[in-house]
Structure 1
Amino acid sequence: MADTSPPRSAPTLVLIDASGFIFRAYHAIPPLTTSKGVPTNAVLGFTRMVLKSLRDLKPTHVALAFDKESRVERQKIDPTYKANREGPPEDLVPQFALIRRVVEALNLPILEMPGWEADDVIGTLARKAKAEGFCVQVVTGDKDFIQIVDEDVRLFDPMKDVHTRPEDVKERLGIEPKQMRDYLALIGDAVDNVAKVPGIGPKTATELIQQFGDVDTLLSRLDEVKKPKIRENLASHRESLLRARQLVSFKTDLPLEVRVAELTRKELDATRARELFTELEFYALLKELPQAGQGGAPGASEPVKEKPAPLPTTTTLVTTDEELQALAQAVRAAGSVSLVPAYEGLPFAAKLVGLGVALPDASTRYVPLRHDVLGATQVRPDAFAAAFKAVLEDVAVKKGGHDLKALTLVLANEGIDLTGAHDDVELLSYLLNPSRREHALADLARERLVTELPALPPAAEGRRGKKDRALADHSPEELALGFAVRAEAARRLAPELWKELDEAKLSELAQKLELPLLPILARMERRGVSLDTQELARISVKVDAAVESQVKEVYKHAGREFNIGSNPQLVQVLFTDLKLPIIKRGKTGPSADQEVLEKLAEEHPLPNAIIEYRSLSKLKSTYLDTLPTLVAADGRIHTTYHQAATATGRLSSTDPNLQNIPVRTELGREIRRAFVAAPGHQLVSADYSQVELRLLAHIADDAVLVEAFRNDEDVHSRTAAEVFGVAPDQVDREQRRVAKMVNFGIAYGLSPHGLSTRLGIPQETARDIIERYFIRYAGIRRYLEETVNTARKTGYVETLYGRRRYMADLNSKNRGVAQAAERAAINMPIQGTAADLIKKAMLVVDEELRAQKLSTVLLLQVHDELLLEAPDAEVEQVKALVARGMAGVASLKVPLKVDVGAGKSWADAH
């Protein structure tokens, strides 16, 4: 690869086309807002681009150029210049000021000249810098800048990671950089309203430039142009061509009141940048900033918050039994402790390599247990368990940390049953902002403690590569500070998080629901569920045959064979071969996603065949092929539950994701048949019936829906009777199907368009059905309207138990984004309350099982269902216990109904 760096001896001036990149970043990144509703997609893209440019180009001098009243001077040449351009999008306008704040925080100079574009400012400064012996790197994605490229001026596009030198221009375009203005004049620019010469495109323009050199020579030798039409067009558009060249040519002699020497790169204002990135919720970018107190620019003009005390830079290793006993006594005396374990792999099977410990007096320790390094001084695991078992199992001693469920599982492998979980900063942070993607300890420390945590080996973070050492292959000294400081960071974070939870009235949710659930989930993960691999293999053979048959079905409807998994080939078949209508387009052409296929299925059988093929293939790859690989040594599958992952409060699971096994399809039931009870046991399934619809009736206080549930009616038949104006016993199957779709869809913001697509009916008919529904169910309409209006005022929606989800996108200027937020706002109080109910049910059922000293255990929680494993002798007792417990967790206007079953497999029990 050719060297693109400037000579080392020469100072380098980097000039950034700021105005160009603002718009480019805006269109490159999907709509993005902070939790307070501030649009930030352009700011994020712009900031990434600037940081990457500074990192890659390592300039000695730097400046950003902005447009300022930029059309004025060129419109003196041609009043129509850029006249066809609309103003910036509404959600981009407030981002301009934020971008200026980013530039100030990065301590970068801004250059602009009234009446002129950033292009002209850069052109002028590049010329001046060259004359003073600088190498110039222009950061831009605009091809117009090629006209100033030479041996001392190069271009860099950070979004494409492409450098442009004179030889690159020659290779890509076939012309010299200095000929670029003539080339641009010939082809024009529709975006800027610069007229082109009719009949001349890029290829012809290149040929003409190669033959004549420039526009002036071309016009003086028109008789040598071979094609008569081109010759005629050049002659008749002589004036507009010369005017176009004026418009596209950079002004390189602006009277800029700045000297290149004044643009020396300065250190960024790290404190201000950190505060701004935190405000904008650019958590990933915070990692790229220097630690607090490093690299700050002198003389920051804005006051900053008082810095937290620095985290410790050393820690104490606990290596003797006496030190171990002393630490255990100190923990008991303090009444609280923060713990972060060092382990590798899935927690349910992991061995404790070491333990980071932080006490309330801010002292820290690291307890090494299993460092497989020659000469490592450490304590014996049995000595650790003997010293710490009593204090860690004492509920009166409060435990803190990050992801206490993982800590619980790892300690269980040491024979310690952790109790007293209190300060789990991951869970506390999640409750404050459930829409946040993750709540990593390093991110929380960076944002709230304004500090970087010491780096850990890849093995500690679940990303060990082939060349990386196992965690146990590191010495205690290598790991001690990293884990001890993490324990101390978690300890310091907890009080502030609890304070914010108190202010948001979320503390009770943490104390009475989420934290008590933690040990139950740990026991469920540790127990796992048995998998009949032979049954799964039988199902897999059956599905292989179904996939093969479906492939033939696809080929039959397509009229030929093709690679079904190839999107370009599928697009070719659908839209070129079969000439089906293009519903929507993506970045690379017509879309063939699920929504498009569902619509096209109304016109041709192929799309539906594709949908069925995809469904079968996904189930096979996700479950049938994968589940056998996840069976542990005990013959059971141990899924991992995540409490801090979904915006609604629902639990999610991974390895495997059990939430996605289809509930109502035959294949989904077949897969459930492979989940079996241990010998002498049965699986007991308890499932809330229509819980979200019942919650909708309660929350909306709709009299008709409430009455239907109180009378234990078939609510879908009742809705069909209300909507279609017939007696309940006269409702036919199709009417009930429509009513069921409406009942379940309303809580998800079902629109006439959505109903028409799902049912294959005209949109007007769908609109009429929904309108009749709202006439009969006036309480539902009121709930939908009031929920969205209230959320717009408060900024959030809540469940019956106070769980919040912030809805910043409700005020987005992007209508699609706002509508999606409206649907989420309508659904969250219902789905979120359903999540709260199933969690409350888990607490009640687990407590009752323990109170009655039963051997039955909770195994899985999926959607609105609990799955338990019970000895044969306890099955009937447990069925009654769980039905009673789940039905009694809340007192609503409608009864909670629970369907309970038992059997040797999950399919039999469900």
Structure 2
Amino acid sequence: MADTSPPRSAPTLVLIDASGFIFRAYHAIPPLTTSKGVPTNAVLGFTRMVLKALRDLKPTHVALAFDKESRAERQKLDPNYKAHREGPPEDLVPQFGLIRRVTEALNLPVLEMPGWEADDVIGTLSQKARAEGFQVQVVTGDKDFIQIVDEDVRLFDPMKEVHTGPAEVKERLGIEPRQMRDYLALIGDAVDNVAKVPGIGPKTATELIQQFGDVDTLLSRLEEVKKPKIRDAIASHRESLLLARQLVSFKMDLPLDVRVSELTRKAPDAAKARELFTELEFYALLKELPAQGASESASAEPAKEKPAPLATATALVTTDAELVALAEAVRAAGSVSVIPAYEGMPFAAKLVGVGLALPDATLHYVPLRHAVLGATQVRPDAFTAAMKGVLEDPAVKKGGHDLKALTLVLANEGIDLGGAHDDVELLSYLLNPSRREHALVDLARERLASELPGLPPAAEGKRGKKDRPLADHSPEELASGFAVRAEAARRLAPELWKELEEAKLAQLARELELPLLPILARMERRGVSLDTQELARISVKVDAAVESQVKEVYKHAGREFNIGSNPQLVQVLFTDLNLPIIKRGKTGPSADQEVLEKLAEEHPLPNAIIEYRSLSKLKSTYLDTLPTLVAADKRIHTTYHQAATATGRLSSTDPNLQNIPVRTELGREIRRAFVAAEGHQLVSADYSQVELRLLAHIADDPVLIEAFRQDEDVHSRTAAEVFGVAPDQVDREQRRVAKMVNFGIAYGLSPHGLSTRLGIPQETARDIIERYFTRYAGIRRYLEDTVNNARKTGYVETLYGRRRYMADLMSKNRAVAQAAERAAINMPIQGTAADLIKKAMLVVEADLRAKGLRTVMLLQVHDELLLEAPDAEVEQVKGLVAAGMANVATLKVPLKVDVGSGRSWADAH
């Protein structure tokens, strides 16, 4: 469709239907709250739409129109007008004030008239603007505004990116914009409680308007209406039809005390907007604001103390003498912030240069490998010789962002980083683990009110085909970008440490997360051997299984179709086979995993599709991908992320080794391709039922504690307790049910969830859970107390003080609140399990070094550690690791560790 926005040269007034935007945004964006529990979904959606409209339309003048006591005037005509509308949702009410603050921060004029709607304000102002020679763009998604469209007044829907002028109205509706009032009067508006003429829908209304032009003409020539029923309906509803037209027609002559010329678009109050967006945690929107100082308008309110601007003057270190002087300055200062310039995976990357910031705010950039003709730089070996001592010295504190990556790239230069202390990514994560990412540019923007200098795409791991490699940039191009980042990290650290101390999280940072950092770096650097021939053999086997499964799917479907196409699958399931539609998505019936599992009870096809999807996912995720990730040393080097999960668990990428299924045959086959080096074996040490043991300890439940102390089969013991039978009389099905309950309780398992998983009636599931809680009263108490305490404090925490803030517990949206309750119940258990395995890594690493063993830790997956030991050390290491992991904490129940060894991961597990 052609763009019908006004010409760029025309003075343009943009009028925004703010009240309509608010409700549209509220329903378009899922419930969202800040870490303090303030609802913000409508505010975020509103702000995004407004900014998009301003960006796309580039107006010279702008205003926002709001409703104000908006039903009053029309209810004088008809008391029923909007009378059935309920008040706004509870979690929307507190957002109205925040939206007004957004309009103030963005410097946008707000117009409203008591008793009238935003529609009337916009209608009136659009006419005034036309008379003054303006082009008008009304930003709205409401079709009622079509009535004011003409060559000078057009509509723009930012969500659909649709412009509407007279031609588009004619094309879509078959009528002229001026006829919209009459059209709406005929079809009514159920949302606003405006009565329609019975029997008249959009098609008939269009035909009548096309024939008669408007309602007045229609009434005067009623005898010409061909269909008797329609004619009689109009005749008998003459008065309500005329009233409806009054109700749907915009008031076009409100006494607005404003001139269009006064609505000149102004720059946002960047300081106020930055403060507000930071408060609301709109981190992505902060990027759209001008840099600090670019547009800081004066405010009547006393200004908050602003952080001092970041130092930017950067000294290039290009001689050996300057390197030595820099090393001496760092040692004398006792600390330094370092940001490395490199490209690619850290375990294999070479330093292009290094940005450094000292406590006196002097900035330095050391260029090492710039492939630019004439670049003056130091030799890499000279850098190592000069800086090795001070960078390895644990007494000199090191800061930066992602010190694990720094550790890896320095290791490639022969430097073993010591004294890692101020990793601002890690510190920020501990303060708010639910945050999606802790990028340095965002932290600087939010906490220092500063925009960091831009870097080439190669520095961000985003180099495209047309972008230069990082080394092809001159030292002068990169110096400030990396040095100022080092300075930003240096400035951020004290504030983050202060907040960690206040939240009693500093000990967790000092004693667990920071000491773990070099261990993870060594694991990534070491990698694990992959037997590509074994993987190829498995791949051939899986290819055959996939092909066989496709035939199985076609057999049960009765025909061939594209299994990967959701529309085609939906067609087969619900049209061809006429299976019941269990739930719907935005585009129609859902065929997700949960739906397929339920449908599998009625037909074999859904189960065949589940199996096909499982095989296909494993093939694409691992069998096809792992060979491409083998490095030059024939090993796979996964990347561990400490600052990624809300519970404190480590995650891994490239490849994600956390998702290889443990209990399936294919998962075990894939593990068979991970092998030890020649003359070595893999040693696997895995916590047994650690989350259940932690549940027993934290809930202080005597029955569960006793079962673990006696080393009983805890699932059989639970089955005996729940079903009232002797432990030796528990059958396989009872144990299966008990196992599901045991593991599900820690995740807030509901009767509905249990009935779905076990395929039993919900009432039966409710009875099972109730009997469980009768026998395990301590666990019921834990669940209730955990949620109640979280509502009071706003967070839950692990045994070691790791926190997760649970703002959504206060959500008025029941589904959101229930999900938060489940997360609150689970986090102390899963989070403590994460802390335990991390503590175990520290203990095992220390024990290996103390014994002078050559065994190395390779992987951490869920509750398991995988090590590579020389054949001669295997038995000693098995005992050492088992003891270290079992004694890492003193609980009310013993920690049990399963240990195995073998040539492959599958053999060891």
Same-fold call, TM cutoff 0.5: yes
The AA in structure 1 aligned to 2:828 is P
What do you get for the CA RMSD once the two structures are aligned?
A: 1.2
Q: Give the conservation status (yes or no) of the 8 Å contact 2:3–2:163.
A: no
Corresponding residue of 2:313: 314
Aligned-partner SS, 1:805: strand
- For 1:820 and 1:667, locate their aligned partners in 2 and report how far apart those are by CA, in whole Å: 32
The AA in structure 2 aligned to 1:743 is N
Tell me the alpha carbon deviations over residues 631-682 of structure 1, each in whole angstroms, 9 at most, x when there is no partner.
1111111000000000000000001111110011111101101111111111
Corresponding residue of 1:204: 204
Q: Give the conservation status (yes or no) of the 8 Å contact 1:437–1:645.
A: yes
- For 2:232 and 2:551, locate their aligned partners in 1 and report how far apart those are by CA, in whole Å: 58
Corresponding residue of 2:815: 816
More displaced 10-residue stretch of structure 1: 570-579 or 135-144: 570-579
Q: Quote the offset at 1:158 in angstroms.
A: 1.3
Residue 457 of structure 2 corresponds to residue 458 of structure 1: yes
Corresponding residue of 2:104: 104
Q: Give the conservation status (yes or no) of the 8 Å contact 1:266–1:297.
A: no
- For 2:154 and 2:660, locate their aligned partners in 1 and report how far apart those are by CA, in whole Å: 55
- For 1:245 and 1:290, locate their aligned partners in 2 and report how far apart those are by CA, in whole Å: 47
Q: Give the conservation status (yes or no) of the 8 Å contact 2:5–2:154.
A: no
Corresponding residue of 1:51: 51
- For 1:517 and 1:526, locate their aligned partners in 2 and report how far apart those are by CA, in whole Å: 14
Q: Give the conservation status (yes or no) of the 8 Å contact 2:384–2:413.
A: yes
Tell me the alpha carbon deviations over residues 548-576 of structure 1, each in whole angstroms, 9 at most, x when there is no partner.
22222222222322222111222222222
Q: Quote the offset at 1:303 in angstroms.
A: 2.7
The AA in structure 2 aligned to 1:750 is L
- For 1:36 and 1:373, locate their aligned partners in 2 and report how far apart those are by CA, in whole Å: 50
Aligned-partner SS, 1:127: helix
More displaced 10-residue stretch of structure 1: 347-356 or 555-564: 555-564
Q: Quote the offset at 1:9 in angstroms.
A: 4.2
The AA in structure 2 aligned to 1:673 is R
Aligned-partner SS, 2:37: coil
- For 1:27 and 1:359, locate their aligned partners in 2 and report how far apart those are by CA, in whole Å: 49
Q: Give the conservation status (yes or no) of the 8 Å contact 1:272–1:304.
A: no
Aligned-partner SS, 1:682: strand
Q: Quote the offset at 1:3 in angstroms.
A: 4.7
Q: Quote the offset at 1:480 in angstroms.
A: 0.8
More displaced 10-residue stretch of structure 1: 222-231 or 341-350: 222-231
Corresponding residue of 1:123: 123
- For 1:313 and 1:782, locate their aligned partners in 2 and report how far apart those are by CA, in whole Å: 56
Q: Quote the offset at 1:173 in angstroms.
A: 2.1
- What aligned pairs does 1:88-167 form with structure 2 within 5 A after superposition? 88-167=88-167
The AA in structure 2 aligned to 1:403 is D
The AA in structure 2 aligned to 1:258 is V
- What aligned pairs does 1:404-803 form with structure 2 within 5 A after superposition? 404-803=403-802
- For 1:113 and 1:54, locate their aligned partners in 2 and report how far apart those are by CA, in whole Å: 24
The AA in structure 1 aligned to 2:523 is M
- For 1:511 and 1:29, locate their aligned partners in 2 and report how far apart those are by CA, in whole Å: 39
The AA in structure 2 aligned to 1:856 is T
- For 1:240 and 1:673, locate their aligned partners in 2 and report how far apart those are by CA, in whole Å: 78
Aligned-partner SS, 1:819: helix
Q: Quote the offset at 1:259 in angstroms.
A: 1.6
Residue 257 of structure 2 corresponds to residue 237 of structure 1: no
Q: Quote the offset at 1:503 in angstroms.
A: 0.4
The AA in structure 1 aligned to 2:127 is R
Q: Give the conservation status (yes or no) of the 8 Å contact 2:37–2:811.
A: yes
Aligned-partner SS, 2:683: strand
Aligned-partner SS, 2:364: strand
Q: Give the conservation status (yes or no) of the 8 Å contact 1:49–1:159.
A: yes
- For 1:467 and 1:238, locate their aligned partners in 2 and report how far apart those are by CA, in whole Å: 69
Residue 375 of structure 2 corresponds to residue 379 of structure 1: no
- For 1:431 and 1:144, locate their aligned partners in 2 and report how far apart those are by CA, in whole Å: 50
Corresponding residue of 1:39: 39
Aligned-partner SS, 1:230: helix
Corresponding residue of 2:906: 907
Q: Give the conservation status (yes or no) of the 8 Å contact 2:120–2:254.
A: yes
Q: Give the conservation status (yes or no) of the 8 Å contact 2:13–2:135.
A: yes
Q: Give the conservation status (yes or no) of the 8 Å contact 2:312–2:363.
A: no
Tell me the alpha carbon deviations over residues 329-381 of structure 1, each in whole angstroms, 9 at most, x when there is no partner.
11111110000011111111111111110000001011111111111111111
| Aligned residue pair count | 909
The AA in structure 2 aligned to 1:895 is P
Q: Quote the offset at 1:79 in angstroms.
A: 1.9
Q: Quote the offset at 1:267 in angstroms.
A: 2.0
The AA in structure 2 aligned to 1:649 is G
- What aligned pairs does 1:260-409 form with structure 2 within 5 A after superposition? 260-298=260-298, 300-409=299-408
Q: Quote the offset at 1:841 in angstroms.
A: 0.5
- For 1:314 and 1:14, locate their aligned partners in 2 and report how far apart those are by CA, in whole Å: 43
Corresponding residue of 1:19: 19
More displaced 10-residue stretch of structure 1: 260-269 or 402-411: 260-269
Corresponding residue of 1:839: 838
Tell me the alpha carbon deviations over residues 715-771 of structure 1, each in whole angstroms, 9 at most, x when there is no partner.
111111111111111111111111111111100001111111111111111111111
Q: Quote the offset at 1:213 in angstroms.
A: 2.0
The AA in structure 1 aligned to 2:295 is G
Q: Give the conservation status (yes or no) of the 8 Å contact 2:5–2:163.
A: no
Q: Quote the offset at 1:179 in angstroms.
A: 1.5
Tell me the alpha carbon deviations over residues 28-74 of structure 1, each in whole angstroms, 9 at most, x when there is no partner.
10110000111000000000111111222222211110001111111
Q: Quote the offset at 1:320 in angstroms.
A: 1.1
Q: Give the conservation status (yes or no) of the 8 Å contact 1:631–1:637.
A: yes
Aligned-partner SS, 1:512: helix
TM-score by length of 2: 0.99
- For 1:276 and 1:753, locate their aligned partners in 2 and report how far apart those are by CA, in whole Å: 41
The AA in structure 2 aligned to 1:631 is V
More displaced 10-residue stretch of structure 1: 582-591 or 119-128: 582-591
- For 1:841 and 1:643, locate their aligned partners in 2 and report how far apart those are by CA, in whole Å: 16
Tell me the alpha carbon deviations over residues 800-827 of structure 1, each in whole angstroms, 9 at most, x when there is no partner.
0000000000110000000000000000
- For 1:499 and 1:366, locate their aligned partners in 2 and report how far apart those are by CA, in whole Å: 29
The AA in structure 1 aligned to 2:150 is D
Tell me the alpha carbon deviations over residues 79-125 of structure 1, each in whole angstroms, 9 at most, x when there is no partner.
22222322111111111111011111111111111111000000001
- For 1:621 and 1:689, locate their aligned partners in 2 and report how far apart those are by CA, in whole Å: 30
The AA in structure 2 aligned to 1:581 is P
Q: Quote the offset at 1:145 in angstroms.
A: 0.8
- For 2:474 and 2:243, locate their aligned partners in 1 and report how far apart those are by CA, in whole Å: 72
- What aligned pairs does 1:76-91 form with structure 2 within 5 A after superposition? 76-91=76-91
The AA in structure 2 aligned to 1:63 is A
The AA in structure 2 aligned to 1:86 is E
Q: Quote the offset at 1:176 in angstroms.
A: 1.7
Q: Quote the offset at 1:834 in angstroms.
A: 0.2
Stretches of structure 1 that go unaligned for 5 or more consecutive residues are none
Q: Give the conservation status (yes or no) of the 8 Å contact 2:404–2:521.
A: yes
Aligned-partner SS, 1:36: coil
TM-score by length of 1: 0.98
- For 1:214 and 1:564, locate their aligned partners in 2 and report how far apart those are by CA, in whole Å: 53
Aligned-partner SS, 1:241: helix
Corresponding residue of 2:252: 252
The AA in structure 1 aligned to 2:89 is P
Q: Give the conservation status (yes or no) of the 8 Å contact 2:343–2:459.
A: yes
Corresponding residue of 1:879: 878
Aligned-partner SS, 1:641: strand
The AA in structure 2 aligned to 1:284 is A
Q: Give the conservation status (yes or no) of the 8 Å contact 1:271–1:304.
A: no
Aligned-partner SS, 1:828: helix
The AA in structure 2 aligned to 1:50 is V
Corresponding residue of 2:213: 213
Aligned-partner SS, 1:258: coil
More displaced 10-residue stretch of structure 1: 131-140 or 181-190: 181-190
The AA in structure 2 aligned to 1:700 is A
More displaced 10-residue stretch of structure 1: 164-173 or 123-132: 164-173
The AA in structure 1 aligned to 2:863 is D
- For 1:542 and 1:400, locate their aligned partners in 2 and report how far apart those are by CA, in whole Å: 49
Stretches of structure 2 that go unaligned for 5 or more consecutive residues are none
- For 1:241 and 1:616, locate their aligned partners in 2 and report how far apart those are by CA, in whole Å: 62
Tell me the alpha carbon deviations over residues 465-510 of structure 1, each in whole angstroms, 9 at most, x when there is no partner.
1111111111111111111000000000000000000000101100
The AA in structure 2 aligned to 1:291 is A
- For 2:418 and 2:685, locate their aligned partners in 1 and report how far apart those are by CA, in whole Å: 28
Q: Quote the offset at 1:157 in angstroms.
A: 1.2
